[in-house]
Every structure is written in structure tokens, then in C-alpha cells.
Structure 1
Amino acid sequence: MDTVEKKVGVTEKLMKREEERLAELQKRKEEKGNDASALDGVKYFLEKFNQEKCVILDSLEKIETLGKNERLLEFDRISQSLQSLQKFHSDSTMFLPSYDVRQSQEALANLLTRVQEKREKLFPKKKFAFSSKKKLAKSEEKKIENNDTIEPPVDNEVQMADCTVQEKSHASIEMDEAMVLKKDVSLINNHFSTIKVFGAPSTVHMKNLSHCVVIVGPVSSSVFISDCKQCTFVLACQQLRTHSTVESKFYLHVTSRAIIEDCSQLKFAPYSLTYPDMDTHFVTAGLDKSKNNWNDVDDFNWLACDVHSPNWSILEEDEREEFKF
């Protein structure tokens, strides 16, 4: 091998070594870049997580300064924010270190406890009393005559409703605009009955209904449902809150978000009611007819963000009904 060939061989070896060295440097650079990206991702998560947590805590502190209806809407927003934060956490755990996962899970659990405690304080489960004012007055007079101690009456929205339908069975009842416009309506202890409420009431309360069909035109604020079973509800409202209700269908128009708690076997479909003056009643109630969150249901008993609650489902299209009058 002559001198020229030796030089070429040495040069090739040096070039190969240089290429290997550069490749190794590039590999290290990429690994360092990936580490930096991972650190940036963790930093972004922690900043966003803590920011959203503080917003929720701040809202919880301020909610008691609001009026009753504003509290309901604000608590609905808090619940949505908490659910969004839970989803953000769930989507981020794949790249978070185990320490940060544990810390954020603990923070979420504490935050959920704070929200539940505030809900129980602001919206305690009510003990309903359905005696009429006249019966209550007579009862109090009798107690005075007998020198008995008078217990204060239960103070709740249902007892003070402007219009009440109660203790009906196998009945067909219709309440028109003249009866319910801007008034509180309560439907109590009714069974196997059809009840229609047309005319933009302020609020509607329902308790202990079974095998009933309840058809309600636009409601300007909230509908509250409790302890009902095997009913069909046709409702348009700003907010729906349903407690302890089972095996029921909802044809719903709601502009915020439906909330259920301690419920099971509920099915939801879009509002399917038509009757004369309904469009006028939507305007009177202040409801946006183009905005309907009928299939956006918040189950307070189901905290998993990535798995659908087993307590409610979408009513199949071929099972849906139309309600025309």
C-alpha cells in the first residue's frame, strides 16, 4: 500500500469518526430538547391547573354574596369549571411525573370536597311541607287553645307557590297563561296524571310524581324535580335540577346545563312541544330558542370525566314522541 492509499484510508477513518461524533451530538441535543419540552409541559400544566383551581375557589368565596337565582347559575358555572379541570387533569397525566400526578389528584379531591360542602350549605335538601295556609292557621289556633307549643312552619318555595296542583290521581289538568304567567308553580303528590302548564311561569317545582306526563312551556328561571318515578317531562327552562328521580324521560330545552343528583335510568331528548303562543312565551320567559343544551347533563354522583355516567342516556330517536296541541 503506497503513501497515497494510506492517507486516503486515514482520511476516511477520520471522516467516519467525525460523522459518528456529530451523530452522537445530535442525538444528545434531541434528547435534551425532549427533556426541555417535557419540563415545559409540566410547567404549563401546573400553572394552568393552579390558575383554574384558584378561579373556582374565588368563585366559591363570592357566591354567597349573590341573589338566589344568581347563585344557581353561578354554581352551575363552578360545576362546569370543575369538570373541565378534571378533564384537563385526566388528559395530562400521561406526561406528568408520578409526584405531580399525586399532588394534583389530592388538590382535585380537596377542591371537590369544598364544592360539595358549599353546595350542601347553599342548597340543602329540603323537607317539604304541603299543608295549605288555611289548614296551617287552623292547626296553630288549635295548638294555642290546647296550650301546645307551636312549631314554626317549614319555609320553602313549594309551600309558598302561587299555583299548586297536588294529590291528583288519573287526572288531566291544564294551566294557562292567565294562571301561571311569571308565577311560581308547584306540582306535588300527583299520580297517573297529565299536567300541562302553558304561559311562561317563573319557576316550577315538582315532587313525588309517579306515572305522570308533565308538559311545560318556557319557564323564565328554573325547574326543580325531586322524588319522581316513571314520568315523562317536557320542559323548557334556564336551569334544570333533578334529585332522587328514576326511570323517567326528559324532552328538554335548557339554556345552561341540566344537573342530576341521586338519579338513575333517566333518558334525554330535545324539546318537542308545539302549541299556540309558544314562541311568544319563549320571548316572555327570556329564553334563547336557538340555544339548547339538552344533552349536556352534569351528574353530581359521577365524577369520572372520561367515562359517561351510567345514570342517564340519550333517548333513541325511534322512541321519541312529538307533543302538539
Structure 2
Amino acid sequence: MANVDIAERDQTKEDNGDAALHQKHAAMLQRLAIKEDARLQKSAARRAGSLASENPNESTDRFVDAFSTSAKQLEQTLSSLQQLVSSEAGRSSARSDLDATAIRISELEQFLAEHSYFLPVYEVRASQSAVSMLREKLESVNAEMLPKKRFSFKGKANKIPKAIEALSVKVSESIRPSDSGARDILQSVQDCEGTSMEAAKHSEALSMRLACVIQDLEGAIVVRDLKEQEDSEVILENLTSCSVYIRGICRAMHVHKVKSCKIYAGPITGSALIEEVEDCSMMLASQQIRIHNAKKTDMYLRVRSRPIVEYTSDIRFAPYAFSYPGIENDLSVASLNQETGLWEHVDDFRWLRATPSPNWCILPEEERAAPVDGSL
């Protein structure tokens, strides 16, 4: 009887061992099945992702065809607009078409940036050159929309001729009838009087073109009214910890070597070039803006083409926020009265990848400065 019990216990143990073995085997098979399912799912996901991300345009030939077609259409449009703005009647109707063309050029440039990662280097450079040519032609048409103001020379004293006249009187009063050498000098002075009048006019015109030069200042507050000097250039150079207010229209602006400054300016009918600035805040409205070697600077802009940056870092962009009495009329004259939204579409010429450039960003609304009133 005891032997039977022992045999039953052994059989029970064996059965239990077989059951545990079967359970372990089943668990192992289940784990393997789960792993295989996971592998298959990942493989399927990779295939699906690959198919989803496959871009039919990721072909150099396809890109070139699409880019060339768009560039050719834009060139034809600009040629038509150039003929249209040659007449006074066509300028008003061409403005909206110019705005739309500027946006299309920006879109073409963005198309190039998004596909540059798989294009050959020579193709990227050729496409960039084509975009640059389109932008130059656009600027040329814009320039024809804004004919330069003619200079007039009224209400100005001609100091050089008056000085010569006074000199000739003094010479004639001091010479003797027999003093032939002195009379030769007097005749020379009188002969150059007509020429000096032209020189005075040229000097006056030159001074008007360079009406606003602000340089070599520290801790200063500067206010300039350009008024009827729309064809002048504004030059800001070697400024530290200054606040500069420019009211009125100018033809161009050049900012060079400026640190810890606040610069507020009215509309610029041409371009603005910003070089070597640091820790500044600028409010500018311009047809075109290029920024080189700048860092830690906030740019509040209104532009008619995409801002361009090179060799920059920590640059933040926001919409234009400067005002003064009469600015709406000035913006209209400079064709900058409408907000294009291009201030936030920045081109970094040192960053041609499809990913966003780390050198600039949009200035958060909560950190933006309040609108600046320039009617000081």
C-alpha cells in the first residue's frame, strides 16, 4: 500500500512538472509571439512612414522643372509690370500685382529652401542666383513706382558767391592803378564767380543727399526731421547707448557699429543695411532690409520683401510699432502703408537647411515693446 502511495505521489509530481513545463513553454511562445507582432508592427509602420514621407518632388529633375516654370512665369510677370509702371496711369493698378509677385518670389525661395537638402550644390547655387535676379528685378520695378524727387534751390543764400563778391570789392579798393599784378588777381576772382555759383548749387545738392549723418555719440538722444529731404540717406555710425528718432522719409539707411541703442525711423523708400549691431532695438519700415554681423537685437519691421540675415545670432523679429504725426501719409508715399506680414518670413543666407534657422526667432507678444510715439 505504501508503494502505491509513493508511486501516486511520484506520478503527481511528474504531472505537475509537465504542467509547469508546458506553462513555461506556452509563456515563452507567447512572449515570442508578442515580440514578433511588435517587430511586424514596427516594420509596417516604417513602410507606411516611408510611403507617407515619400515626396514626388524629391527628384532633381522634377524640382528643376517646377522651379524653372515658376521662375519663368515670375520673370514674365515682372516684365509686364515694368512696362505697366512706365506710365502714370498704370502705376496705381500695378501696386497690388507687385505685392502678389513679391509674395510669389518669397514662396519660390521657400520652395528652394525646403528641397535644398537633396539637391546638388551647383543646383542650389543656380536656383539662389535665379531668385536673386528676380528680387533685383522686383526692386527695379518698385524703384520706377517711386520716382526720385527733383531738387529745388529756393530760399537759400549763396554764401560762396557773396564771399567772392566781398573779396573782389576789397581787392579793387586796395589796389593802385599801376598795380597790374593785383588787377590780374581781381580779374581771376571775378572770372571764377560764375563757376562758383554752380559749385554752390552742387554743394547744396550734395548736402541735401547726405542730410542725416549721426555718428560718434554715446548716451545721446537724437531727433531728426527729414521733411523735404526724401532723397537723402541716413547714416548711423559708431553709436553707443543712444536713442535715435528719425521722422520723415529717406531714400536709404545704413547702420554701422551700433551698440545698446534704440533706433526708431520713418519709412525708407529704398533699402536698409544693418551691420555690426549688438544689444539694440530697431523699428524700421523699408522696401528691403539686410542684416549682417548682428546679435542680441530686436527688429520691429515693416517690409515689402523678406528680411535677409547673415552671420547673425539671437535676432528677434516683430511688427513695426513706431509713429509720429504724419507717418500714415509718409508710409503711403513710400508704398509701405500696408502690412505685408513679411517681417516674420526671414531668410538666413547662412542656413540653407529645411529646418528653421537657430539664428533668429519671432519675438513673443508678451515681450514686445509698447508702440513708440516719436512726437517728442
TM, length-normalised to structure 2: 0.51
Q: Corresponding residue for 2:226?
A: 177
Structure 2: how far apart are the matches of 1:114 and 1:254? Answer: 22
Structure 2: how far apart are the matches of 1:83 and 1:233? Answer: 26
Classify the secondary structure of the residue corresponding to 1:111.
Answer: helix
1:46 maps to 2:61: yes
For 1:247, which of 271, 274, 296 is the aligned residue?
Answer: 296
Structure 2: how far apart are the matches of 1:236 and 1:109? Answer: 30
Percent of aligned pairs sharing the same letter? 27
Q: Quick check: 1:53–1:111 contact (8 Å CA) kept in 2?
A: no
Q: Corresponding residue for 2:238?
A: 189
* Mapping for residues 31-70 of structure 1, pairs under 5 Å: 41=56, 46-53=61-68
1:161 CA displacement: 3.7
* Mapping for residues 196-211 of structure 1, pairs under 5 Å: 196-211=245-260
Question: Any unmatched runs of 5+ in structure 2?
Answer: 1-55, 76-81, 83-98, 134-208
Instruction: Give the direction of change, closer, same or farther, for the CA distance of 1:191–1:54 in structure 2 (3 Å limit).
Output: same
Number of residue pairs aligned between Structure 1 and Structure 2: 223
* Mapping for residues 245-324 of structure 1, pairs under 5 Å: 245-305=294-354, 307-322=355-370, 323-324=372-373
Q: Quick check: 2:102–2:305 contact (8 Å CA) kept in 1?
A: no
Structure 2: how far apart are the matches of 1:251 and 1:116? Answer: 25
For 2:112, which of 82, 85, 88 is the aligned residue?
Answer: 85
1:49 CA displacement: 2.6
Instruction: Give the direction of change, closer, same or farther, for the CA distance of 1:42–1:209 in structure 2 (3 Å limit).
Output: closer
Instruction: Give the direction of change, closer, same or farther, for the CA distance of 1:258–1:76 in structure 2 (3 Å limit).
Output: farther
Q: Quick check: 1:163–1:180 contact (8 Å CA) kept in 2?
A: no
Instruction: Give the direction of change, closer, same or farther, for the CA distance of 1:252–1:106 in structure 2 (3 Å limit).
Output: closer
Structure 2: how far apart are the matches of 1:174 and 1:42? Answer: 53
CA deviation map 1:69-98 (0-9, x unaligned): xxxx999987763431342x37xx9xxxxx
Q: Quick check: 1:259–1:298 contact (8 Å CA) kept in 2?
A: yes
One-letter code aligned to 1:243: H
CA deviation map 1:38-81 (0-9, x unaligned): xxx5799834533514776997xxxxxx9xxxxxx999987763
Structure 2: how far apart are the matches of 1:200 and 1:113? Answer: 32
Classify the secondary structure of the residue corresponding to 1:181.
Answer: coil
Instruction: Give the direction of change, closer, same or farther, for the CA distance of 1:75–1:107 in structure 2 (3 Å limit).
Output: farther
1:291 CA displacement: 2.3
Greater share of helix: 2
1:304 CA displacement: 1.2
* Mapping for residues 23-38 of structure 1, pairs under 5 Å: none
Structure 2: how far apart are the matches of 1:43 and 1:175? Answer: 53
One-letter code aligned to 1:312: W
Larger Cα-atom Rg? 2
Structure 1: how far apart are the matches of 2:291 and 2:327? Answer: 24
Q: Quick check: 1:268–1:294 contact (8 Å CA) kept in 2?
A: yes
Q: Quick check: 1:269–1:320 contact (8 Å CA) kept in 2?
A: yes
User: Considering only aligned residues, what root-mean-square deviation do their CA atoms show, in Å?
Assistant: 3.7
Structure 1: how far apart are the matches of 2:123 and 2:323? Answer: 44
Structure 1: how far apart are the matches of 2:253 and 2:302? Answer: 14
Structure 2: how far apart are the matches of 1:272 and 1:42? Answer: 40
One-letter code aligned to 1:302: W
